[in-house]
Structure 1
Amino acid sequence: MDGSAQRTLLITLTGRDRPGVTSRLFGTLADFPITVADVEQVVIRGRLVLGVLVAYADGADIGRVWTAAEKVATDLDMEVELATGRTKSMPRRRGRLHVTVLGAPLKPAAMAGIAGRIAANGANIDRIERLAQYPVTCIEMDVSGADPEGLRAALAIEAAEQQVDVAVQFGGLHRRAKRLIVMDVDSTLIQGEVIELLAARAGCLDEVAKVTESAMRGELDFEGSLRERVALLAGLDAAAIDDVRREVELAAGARTMVRTLKRLDYKFAIVSGGFTQVTDALVDDLGIDYSAANTLEIEHGKLTGRISGPVIDRAGKATALERFSREAGIPISQTVAIGDGANDLDMLQAAGLGIAYNAKPVVRQAADTAVNVPYLDTILFLLGISREEVEAADAADATPPPAT
């Protein structure tokens, strides 16, 4: 069949979803001299919409195909819509982007604004799918015909106005190949800042918190600010570290995120401006593959107020990302970095995808995308992993093996 000048018939079936609808339609169409040009299917609340575009040569008796499709719909108690057309060629759509929208709640006005911005940028929405309905609603759209940077900038403005999160990523292999996750620790993987927990026990919390906040905003040199804060801890009994280690709480969804990505054979790394005395326990607990952090110097059972070895600062985090990438044999372009403070900026910009997680404004502006809900596992949705897939994998792991 000559693909340069083909007639087409679009068959759209709508009705209650049940097993066998797709096979029944294609089994019927198999009796005719036609080819399949495109297929789209979606199920919403048990209602199926199946669209099949078939191509046929001039002179073919398409009336018989039309009648057969109507009979399938009648037998299945479904509605059918048929439309003929002509196309010179039907190439695979190129330049696809994934636009992911996160909202808690997600309101119609937000979807209207996002869709409007996509249209205003001359792009088309080819497919829409829900990836999750809790703890946030996540909708993903396949978009074609858009300039990535222009669309990302436009949607960032709309996301801020609508108070939702929007990510724009290249489709296909660009997205699927991200196999190394590198994450900040304090206020990202875990709740709060370890140095402030230690400072509370040393009686200098207010002083340390002020310096921490300035450093996170990028107003102070990180290494200098870290040494200044650690110096305030001099004389603290090392046993306080054990207390803090037990007090540390993972961010909501952190364990789910790490567990799911490890199942999918992702490599997982943490890099922290905090301390190995705490991060080493996280490595053991979560099965993390790589880690880098600072080490508090301890002498005679007490903190000296100094750091042992080189400081992991903003540049050090990016260097660690590159090292983890080499050790894992994974290109930088296939990495995802997640962080919240100015100390993470170099790492976020070096990674294939940089995600600002509940971050300061300067970090949100510099990152590829931002997540502003307090659930770390929502990052799975940005990687195209649905809530249903996560739950199905959890259920499978919880099922005991059959007796032998």
Structure 2
Amino acid sequence: MPQILTLVAPPGGLDAALLPRLRDALQALGASTGAADWLAPEEAVDLPFDGLAAEQAVAAARAALGEAPVDAIAVPAEGRRKRLLLADMDSTIVTSETLDEIAAYAGLKEEIAAITRRSMNGELDFRQALIARVGMLRGLPVSALDRTWEATALTPGARALVATMRANGAHCTLVSGGFTFFTGRVAALVGFHAHYSNTLEIADGRLTGKVGEPILDRDAKLATLKRLAAELSLPLEAALTVGDGANDLAMIQAAGLGIAFRAKPVVAAAARARVDHADLRALLFVQGYRAAEIRED
């Protein structure tokens, strides 16, 4: 079977009774299907299929699943395991938008968060929105960054994603429109090989309200993907990218496996693959990793 449809749910949330319904839906469209292969009991399963485009298979799966909190992603059977990972940070590897959380210490969280939402949904130019938001924080003490970091939480599955891919020879990079103050700490905590992001200018212990140049935006994320792939002598097909915002969309669309993770509507609609319900371990299951192969460190 040349393609694999992977179903992933939060632990304990995948009912085997869904499989006959799914198989019937695929076969009704002319697909042939193989035997189901459980990667993790009640959490992830592979269903090989042939004779149907990946987009059709995913659409049929979502229709068959109805309101069940299950993600469905179809990939070619060959080359499933990727050798390069580029991951966004805010609302992807960590659960929050760190700039919005910094803004809370200036009493501007709601105002800045509203700009962030519009930027991440592609309604505002990322560069201009970033400059405007950081400008509003001029004079804020650096201690606000430390307090924000103390409250920052990793997304479930983040450590497992990076540890497992690293153990299998993949190069793992954090690429963010956020700031080095956080990406450096997240990279060290999670185990990324490298991190790329923006720089907050600081003088006399306070934010100046300026962002260092050059600004890492949507185009820079795509350029980073292409540069790293070239440096590692890998085709883009061997890359996995993941993010949630409009500034991630170019790299998501360019990679062999690009995943919109709990993404903004414009990103979820445009990405070939998306994860709406499961945690970041879903990115391992989609690559064919079994539960017993997943590492935490």
Q: TM-score range by the shorter chain?
A: over 0.9
Which position in structure 2 is the counterpart of 1:103? Answer: 9
Distance 2:221 2:177 in 1: 8
Which position in structure 1 is the counterpart of 2:61? Answer: 155
1:389 offset after TM fit, Å? 2.2
TM-score relative to the length of structure 2: 0.92
Which position in structure 1 is the counterpart of 2:243? Answer: 339
Which position in structure 1 is the counterpart of 2:157? Answer: 253
Structure 2 counterpart of 1:379, which letter? Answer: L
- 1:374 and 1:248, CA in 2 relative to 1: closer, same or farther beyond 3 A? farther
Q: Secondary structure at the match of 2:140?
A: coil
Q: Secondary structure at the match of 1:175?
A: coil
Q: Secondary structure at the match of 1:196?
A: helix
Which position in structure 1 is the counterpart of 2:33? Answer: 125
Which position in structure 1 is the counterpart of 2:22? Answer: 114
Contact 1:290/1:324 (8 A) holds in 2? no
Distance 1:158 1:369 in 2: 17
Number of residue pairs the alignment of both structures matches: 295
TM-score relative to the length of structure 1: 0.69
Which position in structure 2 is the counterpart of 1:400? Answer: none
Structure 2 counterpart of 1:250, which letter? Answer: L
Which position in structure 1 is the counterpart of 2:198? Answer: 294
Distance 1:100 1:193 in 2: 29
**Pick aligned residue for 1:243 from 136, 147, 170:** 147
1:145 offset after TM fit, Å? 2.7
**Pick aligned residue for 2:231 from 302, 327, 339:** 327
Which position in structure 1 is the counterpart of 2:180? Answer: 276
2:83 counterpart of 1:175: no
**Percentage of pairs with the same residue:** 36
1:131 offset after TM fit, Å? 0.7
Distance 1:175 1:255 in 2: 20
**Pick aligned residue for 2:134 from 211, 230, 235:** 230
Which position in structure 2 is the counterpart of 1:190? Answer: 94
Q: Secondary structure at the match of 1:298?
A: strand
**Greater alpha carbon shift after TM alignment, 146-155 vs 240-249:** 146-155
- 1:324 and 1:246, CA in 2 relative to 1: closer, same or farther beyond 3 A? farther
Which position in structure 2 is the counterpart of 1:380? Answer: 284
Q: Secondary structure at the match of 1:249?
A: coil
Contact 1:340/1:356 (8 A) holds in 2? yes
Which position in structure 2 is the counterpart of 1:43? Answer: none
Structure 1 counterpart of 2:43, which letter? Answer: T
Q: Secondary structure at the match of 1:385?
A: coil
Q: Which contiguous aligned blocks of 4+ residues in structure 1 show a shift greater than 6 angstroms?
A: none
Is there any run of 5+ residues in structure 1 with no aligned partner, and where?
A: 1-94, 398-404
Structure 1 counterpart of 2:287, which letter? Answer: L
Distance 2:76 2:265 in 1: 24
Distance 1:268 1:218 in 2: 26
Q: Secondary structure at the match of 2:105?
A: helix
Contact 1:127/1:143 (8 A) holds in 2? no
Distance 1:348 1:154 in 2: 23
* Higher relative contact order structure (alpha carbons within 8 Å, sequence separation ≥ 6): 2
The CA RMSD measured in Å over matched residues stands at 1.9
1:374 offset after TM fit, Å? 4.9
Structure 1 counterpart of 2:206, which letter? Answer: K
Distance 2:53 2:163 in 1: 35
Contact 2:159/2:191 (8 A) holds in 1? no
Contact 2:70/2:278 (8 A) holds in 1? no
Contact 2:158/2:190 (8 A) holds in 1? no
